[in-house]
Chain A
Amino acid sequence: MSAPRSMHSSAESVATRPAIEVEGLIKRYDSRTVVDRLSFSIFRGELFALLGPNGAGKTTTIEILEGYRRPDAGTVRILGLDPSRDASELKRRIGVMLQSGGIYPTATPQEVLELFACFYPDPEDPEALLHLVGLDEVRRTRYRYLSGGQQRRLALALALIGKPEVLFLDEPTTGMDPQARRLTWSLLEELKRRGMTILLTTHFLEEAERLADRVAIIDHGRLIALSTPQELMRLEADHVTVAAAQPLDVDELAQLPSVHRVRELPDGRYVLETDRPIDALAEVTGWARDRRLLLTELRVGHRSLEEVFLQLTGSELRE
């Protein structure tokens, strides 16, 4: 009885349902609530970033979606399936990259890729994947002798070996050098173009800014913002940063017509908040000319995602 129904719902899901649905998710360890009424959906072909400080509940959330843990409350659907009940079907259709480890220390990249290829009905070619993640030259080097970045790239290749529809990446570029990180980013952009649905957690705002279609910021297990990176950065007014050879009068700056508020930074610069940056710029230069002040810096900028994050969570991202 249940088989035809689930076939029907999965046929329907291709057209209408999001790839990942999370509704009212709660997870407690003892009395500590680590995921607190989390809800979000991820559309097919979307790259979705889960951003938050250490201990925010990112890994717990992604591991519930991967089927490692059961939620205490709420529902989770991946491709319309339940990660616990439909585990064996889902495992053929998802790819997983753990936050660390997961690979035999004494096996080589070629060996583990060929092994994992045997687990899936229609795997990628291990050769091609080695090339794709740039591990051709170390294919016969044991995992424990690879650099941190090479180990992470092998973990990524293993996540891709089964041609997954949904890819879960827990801090994929942590421990990579800048070059490996850029290589991984362009790889993820390519996978996105091919239509893969990707959920990644990250500490790197630059990563979220560059790759993600949408970003969810979580802290203490709660969703505190969910939007495109561009929208998040537009949450607050733009600002003008100025600096001069001598200290400036904060009260006078604050009285300029387009300036809402002035902050003095510890390094001696001043940040003027405004929603009309062009007018503010003209007013500041006019004000400086009248007082014969030489401005050594004058810059209009958006807030970075980092600043948004700092304001929303009150804590800095740590690696």
Chain B
Amino acid sequence: MRALFAQARMELRLTLRSGEGLLVTLIIPPALLLFFAVLRIAPSGYARPIDFLLPSMLALAVMSVGLVSLGIRTAYERHYGVLKRLGATPLGRGRLLGAKVLAVLAVEVIQIGLLVAVASFFGWRPTGLVPVALLALLFGTATFASLGLLIAGTFRAETTLGLANGLYLLFILLGGIAWPLDRMPGPIALVGLLLPSNALATALRTTLSPSPGWPLGELAILALWTLGILAVARRTFRWE
């Protein structure tokens, strides 16, 4: 346990120490939320813009830390032989991955705190099925952290850098984060429906709405994505 927590502390410390990690995880999501909320940029059909924007930015935050920050950091750790060197210590791969998950969850706690603080400024109060929303966040974390690690362990560090940022942008624009898919042209909406970002954002909107429901379909999509990603990672992930 001591090794696990020491490693998790190091992971968290290095995430927050890197400028790009800090920017993408803790600055971009609250800044976007603030920007859109001030300008009231949101689709019609929501009582207030913040009711659409907060679930979007919570989903964005999970992608920022799991896909972008964790993926890129891990890719460079692999590039610099850190993963290899840790492999010769008693820490073990299980605890190394466990420590990465703990660090991701810790960053998410900070992100949620910041986003909820901004949202409450625009009159948002917790409604709906909050525990189910947290469950959806956990499912999303599993999906995007697995995706980040898959890319990090499969491609070179430079490729991971481009790929993680590219997918991030794709998910934001076409994956139901910036704009809901039912307001998009048909073919684009069809592509977006299959993306995990839309499943996570929709699950959060469903659970945090004043008349909430259980997002079973979305949770199933996220679980399927996670299983698929892990199956591929088992074949392609390299520690060196």
- Contacting residues of chain B (1-26) with chain A, CB-CB under 8 angstroms: 2-3, 6-7, 10, 13-14, 17-18
Is B238 among interface residues, defined by CB-CB distance under 8 A?
A: no
From B76-84, B171-179, B184-192, the one touching the partner chain is B76-84
Is B92 among interface residues, defined by CB-CB distance under 8 A?
A: yes
Tell me the bound Cα distance from A212 to B91 in angstroms: 31
Inside 8 A of A96's CB, which chain B residues have their CB?
85, 88
Is A106 among interface residues, defined by CB-CB distance under 8 A?
A: yes
Main secondary structure of the interface of B (DSSP, over half): helix
Is A116 among interface residues, defined by CB-CB distance under 8 A?
A: yes
Inside 8 A of A119's CB, which chain B residues have their CB?
3, 6, 89-91
Asked if A115 and B6 sit within 8 Å, CB to CB, the answer is yes
In the complex with contacts A102-B81, A106-B18, A120-B90 CB distance below 8 A: yes
Number of A-B pairs whose CB atoms are under 8 Å? 67
- Contacting residues of chain A (212-268) with chain B, CB-CB under 8 angstroms: none
Option from B10, B85, B88 in Cβ contact (under 8 Å) with A107: B10
Inside 8 A of A105's CB, which chain B residues have their CB?
76, 80
Inside 8 A of B82's CB, which chain A residues have their CB?
101-104
Inside 8 A of B6's CB, which chain A residues have their CB?
114-115, 118-119
Is B87 among interface residues, defined by CB-CB distance under 8 A?
A: yes
Inside 8 A of A103's CB, which chain B residues have their CB?
80, 82, 85
Asked if B80 and A101 sit within 8 Å, CB to CB, the answer is yes
Inside 8 A of A91's CB, which chain B residues have their CB?
88-90, 92
Is A98 among interface residues, defined by CB-CB distance under 8 A?
A: yes
Is A149 among interface residues, defined by CB-CB distance under 8 A?
A: no
Is A156 among interface residues, defined by CB-CB distance under 8 A?
A: no
In the complex with contacts A118-B2, A119-B3, A102-B89 CB distance below 8 A: no
Contact indicator per residue, chain A 84-115, by CB within 8 Å of chain B (1) or not (0): 00001001101010101111111100010011
Asked if B87 and A118 sit within 8 Å, CB to CB, the answer is no
Asked if B80 and A102 sit within 8 Å, CB to CB, the answer is yes
Asked if A88 and B92 sit within 8 Å, CB to CB, the answer is yes
- Contacting residues of chain A (8-59) with chain B, CB-CB under 8 angstroms: none
- CB nearest neighbor in A for B81: A101
CB of A130 to closest CB in B, whole Å: 17
Is A68 among interface residues, defined by CB-CB distance under 8 A?
A: yes
In the complex with contacts A104-B80, A106-B17, A115-B7, A98-B85 CB distance below 8 A: yes
Number of A interface residues, CB 8 Å? 26
Option from B14, B81, B91 in Cβ contact (under 8 Å) with A106: B14
- CB nearest neighbor in A for B1: A118
Is A148 among interface residues, defined by CB-CB distance under 8 A?
A: no
Inside 8 A of A106's CB, which chain B residues have their CB?
14, 17-18
Inside 8 A of A102's CB, which chain B residues have their CB?
80-82, 84-85
Tell me the bound Cα distance from A158 to B88 in angstroms: 11
Inside 8 A of B77's CB, which chain A residues have their CB?
104
Option from B81, B85, B90 in Cβ contact (under 8 Å) with A88: B90
Tell me the bound Cα distance from A102 to B85 in angstroms: 5
Tell me the bound Cα distance from A107 to B7 in angstroms: 12
Inside 8 A of B84's CB, which chain A residues have their CB?
68, 98, 102
Inside 8 A of A68's CB, which chain B residues have their CB?
84, 87-88, 240
Asked if B14 and A116 sit within 8 Å, CB to CB, the answer is no
- CB nearest neighbor in B for A105: B80
Inside 8 A of A158's CB, which chain B residues have their CB?
85
Inside 8 A of A107's CB, which chain B residues have their CB?
10, 13-14
CB of B28 to closest CB in A, whole Å: 20
Is A134 among interface residues, defined by CB-CB distance under 8 A?
A: no
Option from B3, B17, B88 in Cβ contact (under 8 Å) with A118: B3
CB of A93 to closest CB in B, whole Å: 9
Asked if B3 and A94 sit within 8 Å, CB to CB, the answer is no
Tell me the bound Cα distance from A308 to B159 in angstroms: 46
In the complex with contacts A98-B81, A118-B6, A119-B3, A104-B14 CB distance below 8 A: yes
Given A96-B88, A118-B7, 16 further pairs, Cβ under 8 A: A66-B88, A67-B88, A88-B90, A91-B88, A98-B84, A98-B88, A101-B82, A104-B14, A104-B80, A105-B80, A106-B17, A107-B13, A111-B10, A118-B6, A119-B91, A162-B90
Binding site for B on A (CB under 8 A): 66-68, 88, 91-92, 94, 96, 98, 100-107, 111, 114-116, 118-120, 158, 162
Closest 7 CB pairs of A and B: A102-B85, A101-B81, A118-B6, A96-B88, A102-B81, A119-B89, A91-B90
